[in-house]
Amino acid sequence: MKKISLLLVLVLVLSIALTACSSSSNDVAVEEPTQEVVKFGVFEPLTGANAAGGAMEIEGIELAQELYPEVLGMPIELVVVDNKSDKVEAANAATKLVDQDKVNAVIGSWGSSLSMAAGPIVMDAGIPAVGTSCTNPLVTLGNDFYFRVTFIDSFQGVVMANYAYEVLGASKVAIVQEISNDYSVGLVKFFTDEFIKLTGDADSIVYVANYNTGDQDFTAQLTNIKSMNPDAIFAPGNYSESAMLIKQAKELDITTPFLGADTWETPEFIEIGGEAVNGTVFSTFFDSQVPLTPESEVFLDAYRAKFNKEPASVTALAYDAYILLVNAIERAGSADPAAIRDALAETTGFDGAAGVIALDANGDAVKNAVIKTIENGEFTYLTTIAPK
Amino acid sequence: MSLETFFQHLSNGLALGSLYALIAIGYTMVYGILRLINFAHGDIFMISTYIVFYGVTMFLMPWWVAFVVAILLTGIFGILVERVAYRPLRDSPRISVMISAIGASFLIENLAIVIFGGRPKAFPIPDYFNQVAHFNTISIPFANFFIPIVTLTSLVILLFIVNKTKTGMAMRAVSKDYEAARLMGINVDNIISITFGIGSMLAAIGGILWGIKYPNLIPLLGIMPGLKAFIAAVIGGIGDIKGAVIGGFLLGMSEIMIIAFLPSLTGYRDAFAFILLIAILLFKPSGLMGQNVTEKV
């Protein structure tokens, strides 16, 4: 008897935990069959290694919904799913959105690998998707239904290579890449090609170290890099692993500047890295101190009023993904997925919060990059770089 | 490779290895008595880091108070896990208990995601441990000195408890045959609770040191260290406390050295640990110290 009662308790606790999980991700999806609604599937990592990124983008999407709750007289409903920072779960989550929830369009995700997992699913279903901060070129390449409001890594990698060569005067660079992350590997490739072109020296990349997503100890890789004595270290990757990497580098007395990319712009990067991340330089999409368009002001005012803090770049991008979809539906005059897709493909000169968006033939935005650094534990604007 | 670089690698490996060793001791101790692989050990380890985090950030405790509170609460938590998940299955086949252990592990992980949230948190490192000592070009963070010392101290205290005290004698009796131990007047349930308490406190000490060295707290933080500690325990001969320490040092050192000498294999670092596990299970299932039966707790 005692055994059974304890088992019952366990089952109860488990079911509570499970319902808590599912309700937190599904409670937005309340059906209202009497009224016609436009459904936007929101496809983001809410748990796992990328959860902080997902949370910042959800803020932007929800803010946009508050400001623009309707399109063509129909209310817009958000269906949020958690892709759990995992490629397999991402495919399941995307399938749920297109098959079960029958969304008109998809927004997301933070993380190129996750977006790439959803790519074939939205294409087969004929549902247009707008990527937020996924920057790997392969997300939209060969996929007529995937668009994005951000620039791509081929641009971002080139920007950072130029920064290392021209501003830092580096001639030898070491690289640390997260080999299980398409975003990191892609950026490293574009950086490497550009840097070798700039220096004209195939040996200017003195060392390439690898790590896996979720690794905590980087001392061995860093010790190897220290002995090569590079002028700069390019280490794009997840913010939590990167923060630990840089912290451990400082403990090993590596004073070489670290360069990274947009993923670093999360509060956790500074919290985990502490003083060690001061002086790191990275490229990103947007800075709240330098509004780029009239829509930036609208977004910044609303964000500051609601959250009482400064928004991250990815929050602005997620906001842009939402308002771009609203704009495309208005231009199409219909919420039919195929009509949205055609309208999206023709986007040009659209004022987003994070800059003017023109989509090229692949569905990628052509826009400026911003370079930031960290000073005394605060993200600080350095400069803006326009596409060539 | 220069001699200095090599010594730097050696110091890194020693710190990582002693962390694995510390977690492995708790693993191996529970196995030694119950013949149960406590899969929830890594998650108990994770809980301790969050207790420190909330103790310092929410209840504003000084770091050493938070450490002590975390060690005690984690010990109690371990006893609770044993009560709920393992004790009701004491007379069931061993496979049921093992499945229950896996269930307990998933339950704790998912509850942690719901309660603590999925976003990473930064472990509050006391300033003292943020210092770095320099010897020529070799840099050693203070934590790297502490970790091996704490591991070895824990080992000595544990060996003392197991071999020199009455409770330890009862533990050894229970590990041989708990029916017979019960007939000799030993309260088997109490002894098992004490074992879990001590094992979980060791996990908490490991968790705190882990947090100081790798201050990135996520609810799934315990999985990889837990598995590595399990591998370390198997290398040393599961059930053998000294073996677990040796296994931990070997695993940590070889993980660092494989990157030091074969940088191109870095991506296979975790795979290497599991290959080692399979190799040991195939060729020397009793582990390196396995023949030493009398040492078993």
- Sheet of strand A129-131: strand arrangement: A70-71, A74-82, A38-44, A105-107, A129-131, A146-148
Residue A196 CB contacts under 8 Å (≥ 6 apart), including other chains:
A202, A204, A205
Query: Could you tell me if A206 and A303 lie in one domain?
Result: no
| Arithmetic mean of pLDDT, B105-127 | 90
Query: Could you tell me if A166 and A190 lie in one domain?
Result: yes
Say if the Cβ atoms of A268 and B120 lie within 8 Å. Answer: yes
Query: Could you tell me if A168 and A280 lie in one domain?
Result: yes
Contact A43, A93 (CB under 8 A): yes
Please tell me the distance from the alpha carbon of residue A355 to that of residue B128, in angstroms, as a whole number. 45
Q: How confident is the model at residue B296 (pLDDT cuts 50, 70, 90)?
A: very low
Instruction: Output the pLDDT for position A7.
Output: 52
Contact A388, A367 (CB under 8 A): no
What is the CATH T-level fold of the domain B3-118+138-295, as seen in this structure? ABC transporter involved in vitamin B12 uptake, BtuC (1.10.3470)
pTM: 0.80
The reply to whether A221 touches chain B by the CB within 8 Å rule is: yes
Nearest to A209 by CA among A242, A182, A183, A235: A235
Which among B107, B118, B121 has the least Cβ separation from residue A47? B118
Query: Could you tell me if A263 and A232 lie in one domain?
Result: yes
Residue-range definition of the domain harbouring residue A143: 31-151+292-367
Instruction: Output the pLDDT for position A205.
Output: 92
Contacts of A207 in chain B (CB under 8 A): 263
Say if the Cβ atoms of B12 and A13 lie within 8 Å. Answer: no
Query: Could you tell me if A85 and A138 lie in one domain?
Result: yes
Residue % of chain B over a pLDDT of 70: 97
Query: Could you tell me if A131 and A187 lie in one domain?
Result: no
Q: Model confidence over A81-94: pLDDT tens digits?
A: 998 888 889 999 99
Please tell me the distance from the alpha carbon of residue A60 to that of residue A80, in angstroms, as a whole number. 13
Q: How confident is the model at residue A3 (pLDDT cuts 50, 70, 90)?
A: low
Residue % of chain B over a pLDDT of 90: 49
| Arithmetic mean of pLDDT, A300-326 | 92
Q: Model confidence over A169-220: pLDDT tens digits?
A: 999 999 999 988 888 999 999 999 999 999 998 889 999 999 988 888 999 9
| Arithmetic mean of pLDDT, B251-259 | 91
| Arithmetic mean of pLDDT, A104-124 | 92
Point out the domain boundary residue: A284, A317, A352: A284
Contacts of A241 in chain B (CB under 8 A): 216
Residue A117 CB contacts under 8 Å (≥ 6 apart), including other chains:
A83, A87, A88, A90, A91, A94
Contacts of A215 in chain B (CB under 8 A): 269
Distance from CA of A233 to the nearest CA of B (A): 17
Contact A320, A352 (CB under 8 A): yes
The reply to whether A219 touches chain B by the CB within 8 Å rule is: yes
Q: Model confidence over B42-55: pLDDT tens digits?
A: 999 999 999 999 99
Please name the amino acid found at residue A364: D
Which among A9, A223, A243 has the least Cβ separation from residue B260? A223
Say which DSSP state B84 is in. I
Which among B107, B121, B139 has the least Cβ separation from residue A14? B107
Size of interface A-B (CB pairs under 8 A): 124
| Arithmetic mean of pLDDT, B171-200 | 90
Q: How confident is the model at residue B294 (pLDDT cuts 50, 70, 90)?
A: very low
Say if the Cβ atoms of A272 and B120 lie within 8 Å. Answer: yes
**Best A8, A13, A47 residue to mutate vs chain B (most B CBs within 10 Å):** A47
Q: Residue A145 maps to which CATH number?
A: 3.40.50.2300
**Best A24, A225, A252, A255 residue to mutate vs chain B (most B CBs within 10 Å):** A252
Which among B132, B216, B256 has the least Cβ separation from residue A272? B216
Alpha carbon of residue B193 to chain centroid = 17
**Tokens (6 digits) for A90:** 């991402």
By C-alpha distance, the chain B residue nearest A82 is B118
| Arithmetic mean of pLDDT, A227-237 | 92
Query: Could you tell me if A166 and A199 lie in one domain?
Result: yes
The reply to whether A227 touches chain B by the CB within 8 Å rule is: yes
Distance from CA of A52 to the nearest CA of B (A): 5
Please tell me the distance from the alpha carbon of residue B49 to that of residue B55, in angstroms, as a whole number. 10
How many structural domains is chain A composed of?
2
| Arithmetic mean of pLDDT, B83-110 | 90
Strand residue runs (E) in A104-263: 105-107, 129-131, 146-148, 173-178, 205-211, 232-234, 258-260
Calculate helix-pair angle for A313-332, A337-345, nearest 10 degrees: 110
The reply to whether A224 touches chain B by the CB within 8 Å rule is: yes
Point out the domain boundary residue: A233, A264, A284: A284
Please tell me the distance from the alpha carbon of residue B254 to that of residue B166, in angstroms, as a whole number. 38
**Best B3, B8, B125 residue to mutate vs chain A (most A CBs within 10 Å):** B8
By C-alpha distance, the chain B residue nearest A242 is B216
Which among B107, B139, B266 has the least Cβ separation from residue A252? B139
Instruction: Output the pLDDT for position A4.
Output: 53
Calculate helix-pair angle for B188-213, B3-34, nearest 10 degrees: 160
Say if the Cβ atoms of B266 and A272 lie within 8 Å. Answer: no
Say if the Cβ atoms of A20 and B114 lie within 8 Å. Answer: yes
Sketch the domain layout of chain B as residue ranges.
3-118+138-295
Residue % of chain A over a pLDDT of 90: 56
Domain-embedded: residue A137: yes
Distance from CA of B125 to the nearest CA of A (A): 10
| Arithmetic mean of pLDDT, B187-203 | 92
Give the number of other CB atoms < 10 A from CB of residue A2.
Answer: 8
Strand residue runs (E) in chain B: 121-122, 132-135, 138-141, 216-217
Say if the Cβ atoms of A220 and B214 lie within 8 Å. Answer: no
Say if the Cβ atoms of B266 and A2 lie within 8 Å. Answer: no
Which among A18, A51, A220 has the least Cβ separation from residue B119? A51
By C-alpha distance, the chain B residue nearest A13 is B107
Say which DSSP state A365 is in. B
By C-alpha distance, the chain A residue nearest B136 is A253
Distance from CA of A310 to the nearest CA of B (A): 19
Q: How confident is the model at residue A23 (pLDDT cuts 50, 70, 90)?
A: very low
| Arithmetic mean of pLDDT, B215-232 | 91
Average pLDDT over chain B reads: 88
Please tell me the distance from the alpha carbon of residue A286 to that of residue A299, in angstroms, as a whole number. 12
Residues 34 through 53 of chain A touching chain B, CB cutoff 8 Å? 46-49, 51-52
Query: Could you tell me if A353 and A331 lie in one domain?
Result: yes
By C-alpha distance, the chain B residue nearest A272 is B122
Distance from CA of B122 to the nearest CA of A (A): 5
